[in-house]
Structure 1
Amino acid sequence: MSTPSQPPQPGDQPAPPPQQPAQAPAVPPQPTAYPYPNPQSPPPGTFYAQPTLVGPAAAQPQPGQPGQFGRPEPGNPYAQAPQFGPAMPAPPSRGGGAGRAVLWAAVGAVVASAAWAGGVFLVGGKNDSADLRGYSAPSNMCSSADYSSFRTEYPEDDSTPTKTSLKNVALDESYCSLGLKKTGSSYADAYLSMQLDLHRKTDPGPEFTATWRNYGDSHTGYDVSPVSGIGDEAYLVGQDTTSGSSSSGSRYATLAVRDGWVTYTMTYSAYFTSYDQDKNPPALSDVDDWLKKDAKATLGQLRG
């Protein structure tokens, strides 16, 4: 039979106290949003070694380790560690080779950028020289253009012509549109428009050629023919839809001229109606001759 345990008697030796676990190394206090210094904080300039972690804790990023600040923990948007002041630059290398290579690479990039920009400005300045050939765009094209060849057929003046003008660093433009009237007409029997453009920033040559030389490709039923002796290039575009009728259809003709960076167009149009059969418009062949003569005279006057 077992003997029951007896309570400790006076004079017996007390049992040794339980052994305390080893105390973890001291960890420096972490910064907080509290704006005043902690009375127990160590003086500035004191550094601590980071404790060595063993086991699962070693796999977790610890404050102060590379990649911790400014990189939130995946899946946790609130794990962003605070930033404390600007990062200190790395001390200059005393080896000389790598440091100088980086420095010269940066200087070379700056010099190359400056040279490239200078080249662009030089090329741009050279190409911005507009070939205006001494032309000037009048403020009133209706009184400056010559259309005297049409006066025999249409002697009556238009008292309210439409005129506009534009003065700009990129473009000077003058425009006039007026009605042509036969003797005794109360309304216009035909219409005439004239437009002069001085292109100050871009050469209109390629687009002008593409537009007018190929006008028949983009507009059905028009005849296109080149004209020599006026400017650098000129094209006459015409269409006649009357088909011998004196009461329906229309006649249309445009002379487009380019001289350097200056373009000029002169357009005639007439519409047949049943109420003015006794006032038939002239033949397109006559109108073509009038356009050539008056356009050449107008450009001569505006060129000075």
Structure 2
Amino acid sequence: MATPPPPQGGPGFGGFPQQQPPQVHQPQQPPQQPPHQQQPQHQQSHRTPPPGGAQGFGPPPGLPASPGMPPVGADRPGRRGGGLRRNAVWAFTGALIVSAGWAAAVFTLPGMVKTGGSARPIRGYHVVDDLCSASKLGKFQALYTMVDTNPYHYSAQHTAMDVMSCTADMKRGATSSDWDYALIEMRAYLHKSVDSGPEFTATKAAFQQRKAEISAVPGLGDEAYLAYVDERRTTSKSRTWHSARYELQVRDGGMTFSLAWSATYDDDGPKPVDKETVRQSLLSDGRDALKAIGGP
């Protein structure tokens, strides 16, 4: 019995070692040991792992960039200078948003798998092609001007879940200051095959772990809350950058909805729109958006 050498290729599907080819019995070769010294057959079938060992499990590669965030190195229309500063701040903001989504996913998936549960009724909610246009965002458009008159949006339908999304980049006045910009993100999910409750609970838990200020919003859907977080990072030059995010989360039957405002600033520069104004805008524009997709 001869054991073929391990293959030289890389790991197989999903990071596991490639399967070794079956061993070939070669009766024409004389035995190398006397019969009484030959190893048992179960030992001969042992396969040597490929060089380098199998790859382990880890976070999925290629976490997506946050939708709507300006690409690193891109400049906004009509803005001059401050490229490195602007890119660093927006990259920091994007990382925070992505980390929030990743944390929510880590909490959500185990809960959904364990609890299962039947889907809740969708009630009167339905998909619209352009959530940005349907929702109007009247309060935020009174505070800011759309950087792009056709903000990024999409909708998708599936037997398990329908999705609607809107991402709008806004700025205050005609200035070109980095601190006058804000990002508005809106999402709506119509869960048709699983209970929307565990996902909603998981998202709230992710905010709690980030030490967010959370306040209940009575009278909106089955359950709703506002979450505010202001995360800081100090640079090597002792400048402190802030990434502020204020988000409305709503669950109504099998529908889950979020409307978020985010902005960046530093301790030495102008401050963004005050929290109370943002809160009132989230509530007003959030209610309008829910009505636009069939809510009460």
TM range (shorter): 0.5 to 0.7
TM-score for the superposition, normalised by structure 1 = 0.51
User: 1:160, CA displacement in angstroms?
Assistant: 4.6
2:272 is matched with: 281
TM-score for the superposition, normalised by structure 2 = 0.52
2:263 is matched with: 270
* Structural RMSD (CA): 2.9
Matched residue SS, 1:293:
helix
Deviations 1:90-136 (A, max 9, x none): xxxxxxxxxxxxxxxxxxxxxxxxxxxxxxxxxxxxx8665111111
> AA paired with 2:129?
S
The aligned runs of 1:165-244 (5 Å cut-off) are 165-185=155-175, 189-212=181-204, 214-219=205-210, 221-241=211-231
Deviations 1:193-236 (A, max 9, x none): 10111111112013312431x334432x3111211111110111
> AA paired with 1:165?
S
User: 1:259, CA displacement in angstroms?
Assistant: 0.6
Sequence identity (%): 30
**Does 1:302 find its partner at 2:293?**
yes
More strand by share: 2
Contact persistence 2:122–2:254 (CA under 8 A): yes
Contact persistence 2:170–2:183 (CA under 8 A): yes
Matched residue SS, 1:303:
coil
2:246 is matched with: 253
> AA paired with 1:180?
M
Aligned residue pairs: how many? 173
Against the structure 1 CA distance between its residues 156 and 204, is the aligned structure 2 distance closer, same or farther, given a 3 Å change threshold?
closer
Contact persistence 2:154–2:165 (CA under 8 A): yes
Contact persistence 1:156–1:182 (CA under 8 A): no
Question: Please, which runs of 5 or more residues in structure 1 have no aligned partner?
Answer: 1-126
**Does 1:292 find its partner at 2:292?**
no
Contact persistence 1:215–1:224 (CA under 8 A): no
The aligned runs of 1:111-150 (5 Å cut-off) are 130-150=120-140
Contact persistence 1:251–1:284 (CA under 8 A): no
Matched residue SS, 1:256:
strand
Matched residue SS, 1:177:
strand
Against the structure 1 CA distance between its residues 156 and 206, is the aligned structure 2 distance closer, same or farther, given a 3 Å change threshold?
closer
User: 1:301, CA displacement in angstroms?
Assistant: 2.1
1:32 is matched with: none
Displacement over 3 Å in runs of 4+: 127-130, 185-188
1:153 is matched with: 143
The structure having more radius of gyration, on CA atoms, is 1
> AA paired with 1:262?
M
Question: Please, which runs of 5 or more residues in structure 2 have no aligned partner?
Answer: 1-116, 234-238
Matched residue SS, 2:148:
coil
Contact persistence 1:241–1:249 (CA under 8 A): yes
1:68 is matched with: none
Against the structure 1 CA distance between its residues 199 and 153, is the aligned structure 2 distance closer, same or farther, given a 3 Å change threshold?
same
Alpha-carbon distance between aligned partners in 1 of 2:207 and 2:146, rounded to the nearest angstrom: 33
User: 1:174, CA displacement in angstroms?
Assistant: 0.6
Alpha-carbon distance between aligned partners in 2 of 1:181 and 1:216, rounded to the nearest angstrom: 26
Alpha-carbon distance between aligned partners in 2 of 1:160 and 1:216, rounded to the nearest angstrom: 30
Alpha-carbon distance between aligned partners in 2 of 1:130 and 1:209, rounded to the nearest angstrom: 15
Matched residue SS, 1:151:
helix
Higher mean alpha-carbon deviation, 283-292 vs 172-181, is at 283-292
Matched residue SS, 1:294:
helix
Higher mean alpha-carbon deviation, 193-202 vs 156-165, is at 156-165
